[in-house]
Amino acid sequence: MELSKDLSFFTLIGNASVVVQMVLLLLLLASLISWWHIFRKYFAVSIAMEKTDKFEDDFWSGTDLGGLFQRMSSERHQATGIEKIFESGFREFSKLRRQGGMEVSVVMDGTRRAMRAAFNRELDALESHLAFLATVGSVSPYVGLFGTVWGIMNAFRGLASVGQATLAHVAPGIAEALIATAIGLFAAIPAVVAYNRFSHDVDRLATRYESFMEEFSNILQRQAGA
């Protein structure tokens, strides 16, 4: 073990064992990737909420459903989220109505299946990479702890050749080992906070999507029975 009076952060990392350095590199990489997903997910969820608010305002304003469908399905408008659910449901409803000779229950079953399929696709897109954040949040502290234990073990092995151990001998090895725990927490805490926040937001959006599907189904069923 190399003893040094310089206990700066980068010096401690440079003097750490290869295993500890590999652990730190792995944790740093996991942290960078998790922050990339955090920013991407933040913008994706924010856009989904804004589009949901705007679409619900348009939908419940009494606008013509056919005109709203044409606007949603136009090439200039990329439908996502609740818009995609509406578009899929109305398209299937219109197609089954044009075929004729079908009972209302059959038409509505097909419409609900189309909306449910769109709902599952949109929800899957919103939940993408959340599992990675959960993994980083739960595993990183243990990876950091492994690096700490390994570093402390090496520090005490280095003291075996020292006749009289003092704080000057122990401090550098212990400090460089504890860096792994600190970096593990640095990677885990933002990932856990982001995962909880995004999971809550996605659950709220899923509830709004499901409520819309039920209300929209009731509207279409009244039109089909008219």
Q: What rounded mean pLDDT belongs to the chain?
A: 84
Report pLDDT for 170: 64
Q: Please report which confidence band the pLDDT of residue 2 belongs to, taking 50, 70 and 90 as the band edges.
A: very low
Mean pLDDT of 138-142: 94
Residue 162 included in any domain: yes
Report pLDDT for 189: 95
Q: b/e map of 3-33 (b: 16 or more CB within 10 Å)?
A: eeeeeeeebbbebbbeebbebbebbeebbeb
Residue 206 has pLDDT above 90, yes or no: yes
Rounded CA-CA distance 184/197 in Å is 20
Which tokens belong to 149? Answer: 């234990």
Question: In which domain, by residue range, is 145 found?
Answer: 9-225
Which tokens belong to 72? Answer: 């949603």
Residue 1 included in any domain: no
Q: Please report which confidence band the pLDDT of residue 152 belongs to, taking 50, 70 and 90 as the band edges.
A: confident
Rounded CA-CA distance 23/146 in Å is 8
Query: What is the number of structural domains in the chain?
Result: 1
SS3 state of residue 164: coil
Q: Please report which confidence band the pLDDT of residue 29 belongs to, taking 50, 70 and 90 as the band edges.
A: very high
Inter-residue long-range contacts of 31-37, CB under 8 Å, 24+ positions, other chains counted: 31/136, 31/140, 31/183, 31/186, 31/187, 31/190, 31/191, 33/132, 33/136, 34/132, 34/133, 34/136, 34/187, 34/190, 34/191, 34/194, 35/190, 37/129, 37/132, 37/133
Q: Please report which confidence band the pLDDT of residue 1 belongs to, taking 50, 70 and 90 as the band edges.
A: very low
Q: Which residue has the tokens 């459903």?
A: 65
Mean pLDDT of 129-157: 88
Residue 3 included in any domain: no
Residue 124 included in any domain: yes
Residue 2 included in any domain: no
SS3 state of residue 15: helix
Lowest-confidence segment of 43-52, 53-62, 187-196 by average pLDDT: 53-62
Rounded CA-CA distance 92/81 in Å is 17
Residue 87 included in any domain: yes
Q: Please report which confidence band the pLDDT of residue 123 belongs to, taking 50, 70 and 90 as the band edges.
A: very high
Provide the 8-state DSSP code for 6.
-
Strand (E) or helix (H) holding 209: helix 167-225
Lowest-confidence segment of 75-79, 113-117, 126-130, 147-151 by average pLDDT: 75-79
Residue 144 included in any domain: yes
Rounded CA-CA distance 53/78 in Å is 16
Which tokens belong to 217? Answer: 């189904």
Provide the 8-state DSSP code for 5.
S
Residue 4 included in any domain: no
